[in-house]
Structure 1
Amino acid sequence: MSAREPAGQAGRLLAAALLLVALAALLVWSGTLSPDPAANRYPEEEDVMPNPGSHVGERASVGGYVVGTDPVVIESGYSGPSRFTLEGAMAAEGNVDSLETGDRVTAFGTITDESTIETERLVTGTARSQAYMFVVSAVGGLWVAGRFLWGWRFDLATLSFVPRGGDG
């Protein structure tokens, strides 16, 4: 054990294990949260789609692909196709410039009947913008990985990464 590593290799492995357990626990915990309007957690597709009629009068968030634009109609593929008409979609708050068939839309508003949402906020995304996001993320990830591998190497003796050209 050196002065630079007060806990040594065992401490490093224990810290990594604890962080992985914490990550797994937080993922499970976040999946157990139920809708709670007081905490700004509204019903989403998985809550609404099995029985939209039971949510009439409630605020909810539903996503899908635009299948009609006058009026705006979206189709969600959650547990079988379901269509919702988005009343007031073009006047809703959000990034609505123009909607085209095939655009991905997430609508937030009040469910007025089994197939209609009075839209308050609308978030749109095109297939092109989603592809751009994935390509830029992949290029950035590869750049970071390349920079890391260029400047560091894995030392089997200490089971750690050490700078290239250093004491090794």
Structure 2
Amino acid sequence: MVTERSSRLLALALLGSVLVVLLMAAGTLTPASELHHYPDADDLSQDYAAYQGERVEVAGTIVRTDPVVIEVDDADRRPTLTVTNVKEPVAVGQELRVFGTVQSNGTIAAHETVIVSPWETYYMWTVSFVAGVWVLARFLRGWRFERSTLSFAPREERDA
């Protein structure tokens, strides 16, 4: 067990460096189709013809319902795509996530569609934040930080 302050700082620096290198290495990996990563709107906007007949996953805001047309967010512009085979009722302004096959003329033949409500994202972030604060509070109630040794030690038991 490492007990000297300099050894702990060295171990912390080494582990931090390994974490940074691993995060950078993970960012350079290419998607593997066997892991079910499909092209998205950015890929389609670069070369639509190259993806005809392939499966894609896109999301956008519904701008028309008959036929269903979605406006996807792209870095430079806002292209529209026509989506066929939509089974659930949709309305203009809803967010639609589509998994389907690229057809000609800006059409996606949907295999699966999901309507995403705006509140779902806020709910996810709120629940995650509350859970993180709860875990941090539980940790701080049971442990204290010792600056002299750069370590965490259990708090003394309190008599109830």
Q: Please report the TM-score for the alignment, with normalisation by the length of structure 1.
A: 0.75
Corresponding residue of 1:83: 80
Give deviations 1:58-101, integer Å, cap 9, x for gaps.
Answer: 222222222233322221121210111111122xxxxxx54343
Identity of aligned residues (%): 38
2:114 to 120, 123, 129: 123
Q: Distance in 1 between matches of 2:112 and 2:101?
A: 10
**Structure 1, unpaired ranges of 5+:** 1-5, 91-96
Q: For residue 86 of structure 1, what is the amino acid of its counterpart?
A: V
Q: For residue 128 of structure 2, what is the amino acid of its counterpart?
A: S
Give deviations 1:94-142, integer Å, cap 9, x for gaps.
Answer: xxx5434333332221110241111112233211111111111111111
5 Å-filtered alignment, 1:85-124, equals 85-90=82-87, 98-124=89-115
Cα RMSD, aligned residues only: 2.6
Flag as ranges the 4+ runs of structure 1 deviating above 6 A.
none
Q: Distance in 1 between matches of 2:8 and 2:105?
A: 54
1:7 to 2, 8, 27: 2
Q: Distance in 2 between matches of 1:161 and 1:16?
A: 14
**Structure 2, unpaired ranges of 5+:** none
Q: Please report the TM-score for the alignment, with normalisation by the length of structure 2.
A: 0.78
Give aligned pairs, total.
155
Q: Distance in 2 between matches of 1:141 and 1:18?
A: 26
